[in-house]
Amino acid sequence: MLTETSRAPERSWEEIRRDFPILQQSINKHSLVYLDSAASSQIPQAVIDRIVWYHSAEHSNVHRGVHTLSQRATNAYEATREKVARHLNAAFSHECIFVRGTTEGINLVAHGYGRKHFKAGDEVIVSALEHHANIVPWQIVCDEVGAKLRVIPMNDAGELDMQAYEALLNERTRLVAVNHVSNALGTINPVAEIIRLAHEKGAVVLIDGAQAVPHMAVDVQALDADFYVFSGHKIYAPTGIGVLYAKTALLEQMQPYQGGGDMIASVSFEKTTYNALPYRFEAGTPSIASGVALGAALDYINAIGLERIARWEAELLAHATEALQGVPGVRLIGTARHKASVLSFELEGVHPHDVGTILDNQGVAIRAGHHCAQPVMNRLGVAATARASFAFYNNFDDIRALVAALYTVKEIFDA
């Protein structure tokens, strides 16, 4: 048993940064400063090693073969499901459905749940802060059945108007879909309160956790979330894997989203019966290596500790916010009181794409654009922003490099 004294000493952030081989390179003759983890985070060596081991010793198809390799692949893949369930504190691992990512998870709910349960005149509530992935699937289903999409407004800081939300909720509300953390502005939304209020009206709630799960502990039972989705590639795993958590009772009421192998119990031309949970919602051969890697990524961050990660990222965000505010011409976009490690900004007189390109010339990787959140941009009256997003492998030197690179942009445009 581990005691306080036998526990391994805490590794420094410097040492942890060295776990990420991709960060050790130069880009455009500058040491890489990676500030785009909200788009995709980087992958530590332990996870890369797990992928190599899977392909070297375990690779086969899952849930199908009686042979040893198939069993190894199945065991490795299913071990991740158990880890995900523990990570989210789901009551059962069958409540964790593997999907390609957040987008597919939301589409699964929109089609599997919405199409079956929404009727003409019903209402679905999203927020003004949503990524397109949490708007368009609901629009498609609402259009199909004649339901209405309603939107929780936000203030100029990028915070949801909770009074307006309460006023929108009514007996016609079937589902509320909001993100836990906004990808465009970094706002942390009061999801526990959003869920509580929706439940009072008998509506179910989907939380888009794509930008939350990498930065904070999430307990789906404590939140009482009905659906919670996230993507592996934002939590130090590869692309091609994500998770939809859903309560058993809801999964049992849902239509399969896709038909095919693995999701059936029996098939004849007259009638098909479906497999048990979770497989009923997992048609076709999945992204097995990425799934196995997701388990390794969860082990990796849990070894560091999510509370420690959250504290360090909060320090980085506070420091970067102050540093950017000191650069003449910088205007921060999104100044909510509760934020996760995203900093959206404009530099006066320079298009965000130009900011991004000149920063890249100096080895600083940020994202520029509308961040797949055009309604957020429209609400705040900007076409696009530059966005720096932080992970625990970033440090104060990265922030200094960002600021220095912004002064170079200004020099070029002031000349």
Choosing from 46, 372, 382, 403, the catalytic residue is 372
CB of 174 to ligand C6P, least distance (A): 21
Q: Please write down the long-range contacts of 399-402, taking CB distance under 8 Å and 24 or more positions apart.
A: 399/316, 399/319, 399/320, 399/323, 400/323, 401/30, 401/31, 401/33, 401/362, 401/363, 401/364, 402/33, 402/35, 402/320, 402/323, 402/324, 402/359, 402/364, 402/366
Q: Check if 372 is active-site.
A: yes
Look at residues 298, 275, 280, 317 and name the one whose alpha carbon lies nearest to residue 47: 298
CB of 130 to ligand C6P, least distance (A): 7
Look at residues 267, 270, 259, 228 and name the one whose alpha carbon lies nearest to residue 245: 228
Q: Does 187 bind ligand C6P (CB under 6 A)?
A: no
Which residue in 38, 97, 296, 340 binds ligand C6P (CB under 6 A)? Answer: 38
Stretch of 1-9, 99-107, 197-205, 251-259 lying at the interface with ligand C6P (CB under 6 A): 99-107
Stretch of 159-167, 298-306, 367-375, 378-386 lying at the interface with ligand C6P (CB under 6 A): 367-375
Residue closest to ligand C6P when measured from CB atoms: 183
- Give how far Cα 300 sits from Cα of 307, 382, 394, Å: 14, 38, 16
375-413 b/e (C-beta count within 10 Å ≥ 16 → b): bbbebbeeebbbbbbbbbbbbeebbebbbebbeebbeeb
The rounded distance, in Å, linking the Cα atoms of 299 and 75 is: 16
Comparing CB distances to ligand C6P, the nearer of 388 and 405 is 388
Q: Does 231 bind ligand C6P (CB under 6 A)?
A: yes
330 with 346: CB under 8 angstroms? Answer: yes
Comparing CB distances to ligand C6P, the nearer of 13 and 98 is 98
Q: Does 131 bind ligand C6P (CB under 6 A)?
A: yes
Comparing CB distances to ligand C6P, the nearer of 187 and 362 is 187
Stretch of 95-103, 109-117, 276-284, 296-304 lying at the interface with ligand C6P (CB under 6 A): 95-103
Residue 286: HSE in the Cβ half-sphere, 13 Å Cα cutoff? 33
Total residues contacting ligand C6P by CB under 6 A comes to: 17
The rounded distance, in Å, linking the Cα atoms of 41 and 217 is: 17
Q: Does 41 bind ligand C6P (CB under 6 A)?
A: no
Indicate if the alpha-carbon torsion angle 243, 188, 371, 308 is positive or negative.
Answer: negative
Residue type, 387: R
CB of 41 to ligand C6P, least distance (A): 11
Stretch of 162-170, 203-211, 312-320, 323-331 lying at the interface with ligand C6P (CB under 6 A): 203-211
CB of 133 to ligand C6P, least distance (A): 4
- Backbone angle region of 306, left / alpha / beta, with phi > 0 → left and psi within -120 to 50 → alpha: alpha
Q: Does 367 bind ligand C6P (CB under 6 A)?
A: yes
Residue 278, preceding bond cis, omega within 30 degrees? yes
Q: Considering only residues 165 through 184, tell me which ones interact with ligand C6P, judged by CB under 6 A.
A: 179, 183
Stretch of 113-121, 208-216, 300-308, 396-404 lying at the interface with ligand C6P (CB under 6 A): 208-216
Helix (H, G, I), strand (E, B) or coil at 358: helix
Comparing CB distances to ligand C6P, the nearer of 140 and 372 is 372
Comparing CB distances to ligand C6P, the nearer of 332 and 365 is 365
- Backbone angle region of 186, left / alpha / beta, with phi > 0 → left and psi within -120 to 50 → alpha: left
Measured in whole angstroms, the distance separating CA 126 from the mean position of its chain's CA atoms is 17
Q: Does 208 bind ligand C6P (CB under 6 A)?
A: yes
The rounded distance, in Å, linking the Cα atoms of 5 and 397 is: 33
CB of 232 to ligand C6P, least distance (A): 8
The rounded distance, in Å, linking the Cα atoms of 87 and 220 is: 9
Which residue in 41, 42, 173, 211 binds ligand C6P (CB under 6 A)? Answer: 211
Q: Quick one: DSSP state of residue 118?
A: -
170 phi/psi in degrees, rounded to 5: -160, -175
CB of 191 to ligand C6P, least distance (A): 12
Q: Does 385 bind ligand C6P (CB under 6 A)?
A: no
Q: Does 133 bind ligand C6P (CB under 6 A)?
A: yes
What does the per-residue mask of binding to ligand C6P show for 100-129, with x meaning CB under 6 A? -xxx--------------------------
Q: Which residues are catalytic?
A: 372
Which positions lie near ligand C6P, rule CB under 6 A? 38-39, 101-103, 131, 133-134, 179, 183, 208, 210-211, 231, 367, 371-372
